[in-house]
Amino acid sequence: MEQRLSIREASRFVIGAAIMRARAIEASSIEGITFDKVAEAALRKDDDGAKLRQSIDMLADAESGYLRNTPPHALKTDRVMQSREAECRAFAAIHAAVITTVEFADNAKAGDAQASQNMRDNYIVAFRTIEEAPGSTADRRQLKALLHNQAQTITSESGFVAAMLKSAETAYLEEDADAILSRYENRGGDFEM
């Protein structure tokens, strides 16, 4: 039967074995004692292996303050939940934009103004929610690449869709810049432009 360790148990073993190795080197002045040798000795099935495992457990218990008691996936703080909601909004907006592409791309390419407006509006919403999503700039670039890739792959009008995506992103950036500037203009002329 294969025995599996939890992340916590494996972490405890690594901490305890590292302390055991450091103490063995300190006591014997032999630098050649590697972590692998300590682990191999602890895995022996004889009494010495059992005693070594017990010592490693005791050393790990003394350092258990370094181990998280609550696993990260169980955290439900307001900030974590807000981040998760923002991620969900970004993915939902991307998928809505892709569905809009399937629904309206052919008509928009044929000159239907309402179809073009629907696509543009959904693309702008997608770009806005991507910018509001948590994560690094690289994460947001990946989300934008996902939007571009899915929207262009789903239709035979990929060139037209690429141009609409670019136009919508430019429109979003202009709207965002206008919103930022209007905050300063509404301060009663404190700043000169």
Continuous segment of H or E residues that includes residue 67: none
Residues 54 and 92 in one domain: no
Residue numbers of the domain that contains 113: 76-185
Share of the chain above pLDDT 70, in %: 85
The verdict on residue 190 lying in a domain is no
* Cβ atoms of residues 60 and 16 within 8 Å: yes
The tens digit of pLDDT for each residue in 4-31 reads 667 777 777 888 888 888 888 888 877 7
Show which of 66, 87, 105 is a domain's final residue. Answer: 66
Alpha helices in the chain (DSSP H): 7-28, 35-42, 47-62, 78-109, 113-132, 137-153, 158-185
Amino acid type, 74: A
The verdict on residue 1 lying in a domain is no
Q: Which residues contact 150 (CB under 8 A, 6 or more apart)?
A: 94, 98
Overall domain count for the chain? 2
Q: Which residue has the tokens 């892709």?
A: 98
